[in-house]
Amino acid sequence: MEGHKIYEGKAKILFDMGDPDTLVQHFKDDATAFNAQKKGTISHKGAINCQLSAHLFGILEQEGIPTHFVNRTGPVDMTVRRLSMVALEVVLRNRFAGSLAKRLGQPEGGALPMPVLEWYYKRDDLGDPMVNRDHIRVLELAGEETLAAVERLGRKTNAILARVFAQKGIVLVDMKLEFGVDSKGRVLLGDEISPDTCRFWDAKTGEKMDKDRFRRDLGQIEEHYQELFRRVVGHEPEF
């Protein structure tokens, strides 16, 4: 891709194409788990995650959630608004699963009586530790107005997408969201929404349709990513 690479993460690359207001976000097929201790490749993951994210950002925009998405420029590329990212990951949980089930000693799968919101400090060298609001204040990671906006938008995003996926026979178990502030001071939803950043289960069978298939060596990873895409978007992904 033409342009200057300004950031490369585990699953995406950001390119500066010369526009002061936007960047190009490129999605990779690379897969990592357990803080990058496990690495691999999932065929066509970049295309599926890019196109699914674009579709879901469009739905969220219509529901009043401001996002960084501008448009999709190819199977694995989208133009996004430049953001100053908040150094926090926001996790919304609707079921006991993953680390929550382990920490609280609960069997995986049980529905929570209310969505649970957790904060994680984005520091790869520290393993992205969980933090609370006092930790965030001490570290000066975000101001009170920004935190309030992030929590409000995060909870609303979870409610909207839980409904959207339920209509497709899919349970939104949990999701990781990232937010940033644009040049006008607005808090926007950034990053991506995909099987890499969410847990999705088939509502009838309980079959996992997300990156847990990679984490837990369950097999048929590509098949479940594609099945999720077909159900949600309504057609095959573009490769």
Query: What pLDDT is recorded for position 1?
Result: 64
Partners of 238 in beta bridges: none
Mean pLDDT score, 162-174: 98
CA distance 229 to 173: 17
Helix, strand, coil fractions of the chain, as percent rounded to 5: 30, 35, 35
Question: pLDDT tens for residues 44-56?
Answer: 999 999 999 999 9
Contact call for residues 202 and 169 (beta carbons, < 8 A): yes
Q: What is the dihedral of CA 33, 180, 154, 186, to 10 degrees?
A: -170
User: Which of 197, 192, 159 lies closest to 176 in space, CA to CA?
Assistant: 197
pLDDT at 237 over 70: yes
Spell out the domains of the chain, with CATH numbers in brackets.
Answer: 4-81 (3.30.200.20), 84-221 (3.30.470.20)
CA distance 122 to 64: 26
Amino acid at the residue 153: L
Question: pLDDT tens for residues 208-225?
Answer: 999 999 999 999 999 999
CA distance 136 to 34: 24
CA distance 50 to 194: 8
Tokens representing 202 are: 């088939």
Longest dimension (CA), the chain: 50
